[in-house]
Amino acid sequence: MERTPGLVNLVFGHAQTSAIDEASFRVLYDATSQPLRAYLLHVCRRPDVADDLLQETYCRYLMHRRTDMDESQTRSYLFRIATNLIHDRVRSRVDAMVPDIPERGRAPNIETRLDVRSTLRRLKPRERELLWLAYVEGMNHQEIAAATGLRPLSIRILLFRARHKAAQFLAPHDAPKRFA
């Protein structure tokens, strides 16, 4: 997935990996890698791909990071890189055949797990991204817009539709439709 750098970047750009030492990077990695990997795994659904994208995300962060970013901005920036990488992968159609995440151990509630998994299969990657960022990462619309590259005004309606769709998939089929 390596790209040829542009002429301007090639001549005047700066690789900043040396500006952060390994210990600081480890602290950052330990704090952010788990949620980021869960996000990648949730959206792309393959552990090997998620690991590749996770590594790519941190490599790009180290190459292009700005030194004036605080903790929240760094988190947003990492999610933005990860989202862009997912979009690149979706566009390149390399994951036409997507197998399930392999089972390891037992989750406490198998029904919930199966419901969520079947929901994942039916949602689009963009919908999975929005739902995860909003409801797992607790990002507001501005932060989601920054992470996904969408307009803040579009987030509200897209999120509403995605949530409605997910809720329909998660609802038991024999349950009465209380709010229909």
Residues 67-86 that bind other proteins (CB under 8 A): none
| Rounded alpha-carbon distances, angstroms, from residue 113 to 41, 66, 97, 146, 169 | 15, 39, 22, 30, 13
Helix axis angle, 125-135 relative to 22-44, nearest 10°? 130
Beta-carbon count within 10 A of 143 CB: 21
Exactly one of 3, 6, 21, 93 binds other proteins (CB under 8 A); that residue is 21
Q: Residue 90 or residue 116: which is nearer to other proteins going by CB? A: 116
Which residue among 3, 6, 10, 173 contacts other proteins (CB under 8 A)? Answer: 10
Q: Is residue 160 near other proteins by the rule CB under 8 A? A: yes
| Residue 34 near other proteins by CB under 8 A | yes
Q: How many residues bind other proteins (CB under 8 A)?
A: 60
How far is residue 124's CA from residue 137's CA, in Å, rounded to a whole number? 19
Q: How far apart are CA 143 and CA 133, in angstroms?
A: 9
- Report d(CA 140, CA 10) in Å as an integer: 36
By the rule CB under 8 A, 88 interacts with other proteins: no
Residue with tokens 């349950």: 175
Applying CB under 8 A, which residues contact other proteins? 2, 5, 10-11, 13, 15, 17-18, 21-23, 25-26, 29-30, 33-38, 41-42, 47, 51, 54-55, 58-59, 62-63, 101, 104-105, 107, 109, 112-113, 115-117, 119-120, 131-132, 134-136, 138, 140, 156, 160, 163-164, 166-167, 170-171, 178-179
